[in-house]
Amino acid sequence: MGLHSPLSKGLENDIEKASKILSSFLYDKEAQYTDKIIPGDILERCKGIAVLTVIKGGIMWSGRAGTGLVISRLPGGEWSAPSAIATAGVGFGGQIGAQITDFVMILNTESAVKAFSRGGNITLGANIGVAAGPVGRNAEIGGSIREAAAIYSYSKSKGLFAGISLEGSGIIERKDANEKFYGSKVSADELLSGKIERPQQAQMLYDSIKNRTDYYKKSITGSLNLNTDNPKNISEQKENSLDQEKITPEQSENISFKEIIAAEQPGQSLEQNNISQFQKQPEAKAE
């Protein structure tokens, strides 16, 4: 059985997909007050965010591949233009069938952002530390996070938090995808440092984050103005307050993965096959 990879149509498609994925990780209408979302406190203080959709499968071996994007928080608080990324890896102890997983990685440190800015191959857990991220309001109430990992990883499979790790996976910059989207050769460093103006097409991505951070700020300052005299109605009041504020990100539990196609190239190792789909090697220039 060959590896089935989610192939991206381009960065614009990745932006739309990442917006829906982020909305489902940051805001859940039925569970926003339970342990099923990324805490607003963590989102408010992070230095960057990476989003990936990955497929994993195999029989005697296990392989995984996927595409996505990364953005960084600029000194003024705005988010940078997105840079396209991809992942590919191979291991043993495979599973029958394939599993699609959405990942959101919270970059907690400047060093984590720099790792994505270099444009080379990042190995999660080796080049940079990664740990499962805390979820729910208890993490917000806990205050500042001490000795946080450089990257917090969150995963969902079939719309549910899955606890699946990306540790050991290699992540690369998709230079061709960036060049096609921006119309010229741009580096991940230029994009994540704010040297390239952020595109209008990515506004939906920034809105997905803003909706969550806006709600978090209002919740900690008490501006929801809830009537606590009737505890039974608090949940309903919170939902109504959100509706009044028009904080209604798209529901994305049932994400469509139309990009998934079979992809196998005989004669190459699995990892070579995966990476070759996402990044073309630059041609050597004549001396």
More confident residue, 66 or 158: 66
Task: Report the pLDDT value the prediction gives residue 35, as an integer from 0 to 100.
Answer: 60
Mean pLDDT value across residues 98-113: 91
What are the pLDDT digits (tens) for 205-255?
A: 999 998 777 666 666 555 444 343 443 443 444 444 434 333 333 433 333
Per-residue pLDDT at 191: 98
Query: Which residue did the predictor score with more confidence, 91 or 260?
Result: 91
The reported pLDDT for the residue numbered 228 is 37
Q: Tell me what the pLDDT averaged over the chain comes to.
A: 72
Band of the pLDDT at 163, cuts 50, 70, 90? low
Tens-place pLDDT, residues 142-154 = 444 445 789 999 9
For residue 113, CA distances in Å to 50, 69, 184, 262, 286 come to: 10, 12, 22, 32, 34
Question: Is residue 259 over pLDDT 80?
Answer: no
pLDDT band at 130 (very low <50, low <70, confident <90, very high): confident
pLDDT score, position 279: 47
229 or 161, greater pLDDT: 161
Cα–Cα dist 213/211, whole Å: 6
